[in-house]
Amino acid sequence: MLLPAYLLAGLLVLLVMIPSRFASAASRNSLFSWLSVVHAGAYVVITSAMLAAGTAISNQYFIVDSLSTYEVLVASIVFVLSSLYAQGYVKGLLKMGEIDSGELKLFYVALNALFVVVVYAFFSNNMALFWILLEVTTLLSSTLIVTLNAKENIMAALKYV
């Protein structure tokens, strides 16, 4: 029951983020950043509950054991910190004109989707599924690079992919 909670938390954040419209880029950045922090914080809470309960789930595609849960907890803490950092980072990018205000939604959607995919990659019990999720993380992280207004970033992302 807790495994779909990760997907549900991610979908709720994305459903709030996608239709939101604000006049200023700063208010959008602030909202999207805090939604990302809440998303990652929810992952910390869900994972801590799973560790405390000693939850173990296994099926053909996913396995939740203490090792994978611990890995997700570490990743979730990193996600919280990166979401907190992203607010100031993107604010500086907006101020310097290195990112368009229209690209904020894409940046934060890709960031939050990356959170979801990384969690499910840690829980994958199938090498093919793990490989697919790993490749999706590559595509999402390259999306984060491409949102910046620099030709070098696009070339770097294409080489990365």
For residue 1, the model assigns a pLDDT of 57
Q: What is the DSSP string of 59-107?
A: -SSBEE-HHHHHHHHHHHHHHHHHHHHHHHHHHHHHHHTSB-GGGHHHH
**Token pair for residue 103?**
């690209």
pLDDT tens digits, 96-144: 888 887 888 888 899 999 999 999 999 999 899 999 999 999 999 888 8
**pLDDT at residue 161 in the model:** 63
Q: Per the structure block, which two tokens stand in for 109?
A: 């959607």
pLDDT over threshold 80, residue 91: yes
pLDDT at res. 157: 66
Span 68-97, average pLDDT: 91
Question: Which of 118, 90, 112 has the alpha carbon at shortest distance from 36?
Answer: 112
Tens-digit pLDDT profile for residues 14-27 = 788 777 666 677 78
Inter-residue contact 11 to 20 (CB < 8 Å): no
Per-residue pLDDT reduced to its tens digit, 52-69: 888 788 888 898 888 999
- pTM (2 d.p.): 0.86
Q: What is the mean pLDDT of residues 38-45?
A: 93
Q: How confident is the model at residue 160 (pLDDT cuts 50, 70, 90)?
A: low
